Structure 1
Amino acid sequence: MKIFSKEQIYEGDKLTTERQGIHSTDLMERAGEQIFNWMHLRMQGAQVPIHVFCGIGNNGGDGLVLARHLILAGYSVKTYVVNYSHKRSKDFLINYDRIKNVTKDWPILMESEEDFPMIAQDDIIVDAVFGVGLNRPVANWVQALFRHFKTSNAFTLSIDIPSGLYLDKTPEHESGIVNASYTLSFTCPKLVFFLPETAQFTKQWEVLDIGLDAEFMQTTQTDAVIIGKYEVLPIYKPRDPFSHKGHFGHCLVVGGSYGKIGAVILASRAALSSGCGLVTSYIPKCGYTALQASFPEAMVITDNDENHITDIHFEIAPSVIAVGVGMGTDYKTISALENFLKHNNTPLVIDADGINILAKNQSFLKLLPKQTVLTPHPKELERLIGKWSDDFDKLEKAKAFSKKHDVILVIKGAHSITVYGNMLYINSTGNPGLATAGSGDVLTGIITGLISQGYDALSATVFGVYLHGKSADIAVEDYGYQSLIASHVIEYFGAAYLDLFKQPEPVEDNTENKKES
Structure 2
Amino acid sequence: MKALPIPYAKQIKSIDLATIKLKKIPSINLMEEASVTFSSWFEKKFHIREQVIFAFCGQGNNGGDGLAVSRLLIEKGYKVRVILWGSPEKCSKDCKINYNRLKSTRAVEILALNKAKNIPLIPEGSIIIDALLGSGLDRPLEGELQKLILQLNSINATRISIDIPSGLFSDKPTTGLSFAADEVLSFEFPKLAFLMPENEAKIINWDFRSIGLRICEEIEKKLTNYWLTTNFIQSLLKKTNRFSHKGTHGAAFIIAGQKGFCGAAVLASKSCLRAGCGLLYTHLPESCLDIVQKSVPEAICKINAGQEYLESDIFPPEKTTAIGVGPGIGTKFSTARIIEKLFKTTKIPILIDADALNIIASNNLLHSVPENAILTPHPGEFRRLFGESSNDFEELELQRKKSVEHSVYIVFKGAFTRISTPDGIVFFNSTGNPGLAKAGSGDVLTGIITGLLARSYSPFEASVIGVHLHGLAADLALINESVESLVATDVIKNLGKAFQKIKTDRALEKIDSEMLEPPIEVTP
1:57-91, Cα deviation, whole Å (9 max, x unpaired): 11111112222334455542221122399964333
From 37, 43, 54, the counterpart of 2:57: 54
From 163, 167, 170, the counterpart of 1:167: 170
Corresponding position of 1:288: 289
Q: How far apart, in 2, do the equivalents of 1:151 and 1:312 lie?
A: 63
Letter matched to residue 178 of structure 2: I
Q: Residues 105 and 251 (structure 1 numbering): CA distance in 2 closer, same or farther, change over 3 Å?
A: closer
Give the deviation of 1:319 after TM superposition. Answer: 1.0
Q: Say which SS state the counterpart of residue 477 (structure 1) adopts.
A: coil
From 343, 346, 355, the counterpart of 2:345: 343
1:130-185, Cα deviation, whole Å (9 max, x unpaired): 11110110115433332333332212221111111111101013xx1122222121
Q: Residues 201 and 289 (structure 1 numbering): CA distance in 2 closer, same or farther, change over 3 Å?
A: same
**Structure 1 residue 33 corresponds to structure 2 residue 32:** no
Corresponding position of 2:323: 321
Give the deviation of 1:214 after TM superposition. Answer: 7.2
From 17, 32, 40, the counterpart of 1:14: 17
Give the deviation of 1:438 after TM superposition. Answer: 0.5
1:282-331, Cα deviation, whole Å (9 max, x unpaired): 11222122222222211222222222212232261211111111111111
1:200-221, Cα deviation, whole Å (9 max, x unpaired): 4333333233333476799676
1:174-198, Cα deviation, whole Å (9 max, x unpaired): xx11222221211222122222122
Q: Say which SS state the counterpart of residue 277 (structure 2) adopts.
A: coil
Corresponding position of 2:377: 376
Give the deviation of 1:9 after TM superposition. Answer: 1.4
**Structure 1 residue 126 corresponds to structure 2 residue 94:** no
Q: Residues 311 and 86 (structure 1 numbering): CA distance in 2 closer, same or farther, change over 3 Å?
A: farther
Corresponding position of 2:396: 395
Letter matched to residue 276 of structure 2: G
**8 Å Cα contact 1:84/1:139 also seen in 2:** no
Corresponding position of 2:272: 271
**Structure 1 residue 204 corresponds to structure 2 residue 205:** yes
From 104, 113, 116, the counterpart of 1:113: 116
Q: Say which SS state the counterpart of residue 240 (structure 1) adopts.
A: coil
Q: How does 1:144-163 map to 2 (within 5 A)?
A: 144-163=147-166
Q: Residues 33 and 407 (structure 1 numbering): CA distance in 2 closer, same or farther, change over 3 Å?
A: same
* Larger CA deviation: 1-10 vs 427-436: 1-10
Corresponding position of 1:445: 447
1:364-400, Cα deviation, whole Å (9 max, x unpaired): 2222222100111110011112111111101100000
Q: Residues 41 and 349 (structure 1 numbering): CA distance in 2 closer, same or farther, change over 3 Å?
A: closer
From 477, 480, 496, the counterpart of 2:479: 477
Give the deviation of 1:43 after TM superposition. Answer: 5.5
Corresponding position of 2:361: 359
Q: How far apart, in 2, do the equivalents of 1:425 and 1:305 lie?
A: 39
TM-score, reference length from structure 2: 0.90
Q: Percent identity?
A: 37
Q: Say which SS state the counterpart of residue 309 (structure 2) adopts.
A: coil
**8 Å Cα contact 1:72/1:102 also seen in 2:** no
From 93, 99, 104, the counterpart of 2:102: 99
Give ranges in structure 2 of 5+ residues lacking alignment. 509-524
**Structure 1 residue 178 corresponds to structure 2 residue 179:** yes
Higher relative contact order structure (alpha carbons within 8 Å, sequence separation ≥ 6): 2
TM-score, reference length from structure 1: 0.91
Q: Residues 149 and 217 (structure 1 numbering): CA distance in 2 closer, same or farther, change over 3 Å?
A: farther
Corresponding position of 2:428: 426
**8 Å Cα contact 2:88/2:112 also seen in 1:** no
Q: Say which SS state the counterpart of residue 138 (structure 1) adopts.
A: coil
Q: Residues 25 and 272 (structure 1 numbering): CA distance in 2 closer, same or farther, change over 3 Å?
A: same
Corresponding position of 1:244: 245
Q: Say which SS state the counterpart of residue 80 (structure 1) adopts.
A: strand
**8 Å Cα contact 1:192/1:199 also seen in 2:** no
Q: How does 1:478-493 map to 2 (within 5 A)?
A: 478-493=480-495
Q: Residues 41 and 442 (structure 1 numbering): CA distance in 2 closer, same or farther, change over 3 Å?
A: closer
Q: Say which SS state the counterpart of residue 444 (structure 2) adopts.
A: helix
1:230-260, Cα deviation, whole Å (9 max, x unpaired): 1111111121111111111111111322211
1:98-137, Cα deviation, whole Å (9 max, x unpaired): 4333338543233333123322222111100111110110
Q: How far apart, in 2, do the equivalents of 1:134 and 1:218 lie?
A: 21
**8 Å Cα contact 1:16/1:213 also seen in 2:** yes
Corresponding position of 2:461: 459
* Larger CA deviation: 213-222 vs 386-395: 213-222
1:459-517, Cα deviation, whole Å (9 max, x unpaired): 001000111111111122112222221112112111111112334689xxxxxxxxxxx
Q: Residues 7 and 349 (structure 1 numbering): CA distance in 2 closer, same or farther, change over 3 Å?
A: same
Q: Residues 87 and 139 (structure 1 numbering): CA distance in 2 closer, same or farther, change over 3 Å?
A: farther
* Larger CA deviation: 34-43 vs 259-268: 34-43
Count of paired positions: 503
Q: Residues 84 and 469 (structure 1 numbering): CA distance in 2 closer, same or farther, change over 3 Å?
A: farther
**8 Å Cα contact 1:126/1:158 also seen in 2:** yes
Q: CA RMSD in A?
A: 2.5
Q: How far apart, in 1, do the equivalents of 2:257 and 2:76 lie?
A: 66
Q: How far apart, in 1, do the equivalents of 2:283 and 2:130 lie?
A: 57
* Larger CA deviation: 201-210 vs 365-374: 201-210
Q: Say which SS state the counterpart of residue 18 (structure 2) adopts.
A: helix
